[in-house]
Amino acid sequence: MLKPNILYIHSHDTGRYLQPYGHAIPTPNLQRLAEQGLLFRRAYCAAPTCSPSRAALLTGQSPHSAGMLGLANRGFRLRDFNQHIIHTLKGAGYTSALAGIQHLTNAKYHRGAEAVGYDQILTEDRLQPHIAAADFIRSRPAQPFWLTVGFFETHRRFPTEHDVNPDYVQPPALFPDTPNTRQDMANYIAMAQILDDKIGHVLRALDETGQRENTLVIYTTDHGLAFPDMKCNLTDHGIGVALIMHGAGLFSGGRAIDAMVSHIDIFPTLCDLLSIEPPAWLQGRSMLPLLTGERESIRDEIFAEVSYHAAYEPKRAVRSERYKYIRRFDGRSSPVLSNIDDGHTKSDWLDAGYRESQIAPERLYDTWLDPVERHNLIDSAEHADALADMRARLDRWMRETDDPLLHGPVPAPPQAELNDPDGGSPDDAYMKN
Domains of the chain: 5-297 (3.40.720.10), 302-407 (3.30.1120.10)
In angstroms, the CA 221 to CA 153 distance is 10
Residue 53 neighbours by CB under 8 Å, 6+ apart: 45, 46, 47, 63, 222, 223, 263
Predicted confidence band at 432 (pLDDT cuts at 50, 70, 90)?
Answer: low
Work out the percent of the chain whose per-residue pLDDT is above 90: 96
Residue 230 neighbours by CB under 8 Å, 6+ apart: 15, 48, 172, 174, 223, 224, 237, 238
Cα of 43 vs its chain's centroid, Å: 9
pTM, two decimals, is 0.96
pLDDT tens digit string along 284-307?
Answer: 999 999 999 999 999 999 999 999
Contact status, residue 48 vs residue 80, Cβ threshold 8 Å: no
The pLDDT assigned to 2 comes to: 82
Read off the pLDDT of each residue in 409-418 and give the average, rounded to a whole number.
Answer: 94
Contact status, residue 45 vs residue 239, Cβ threshold 8 Å: yes
For the cut 70, the answer to whether the pLDDT of residue 109 exceeds it is: yes
First vs last C-alpha separation in the chain: 52
For the cut 90, the answer to whether the pLDDT of residue 324 exceeds it is: yes
Q: Which helix (H) or strand (E) holds 275?
A: none
Contact status, residue 195 vs residue 225, Cβ threshold 8 Å: no
Predicted confidence band at 1 (pLDDT cuts at 50, 70, 90)?
Answer: low
Residue type at 145 in one-letter notation: F
The pLDDT assigned to 433 comes to: 63
Read off the pLDDT of each residue in 73-84 and give the average, rounded to a whole number.
Answer: 95
Read off the pLDDT of each residue in 384-393 and give the average, rounded to a whole number.
Answer: 98
Name 147's bridge partners: 7, 97
Cα dist from 45 to 177, 240, 241, whole Å = 28, 7, 6
Q: What is the CA radius of gyration of the chain?
A: 21
- Omega into 154 within 30° of 0, i.e. cis? yes
pLDDT tens digit string along 230-276?
Answer: 999 999 999 999 999 999 999 999 999 999 999 999 999 999 999 99
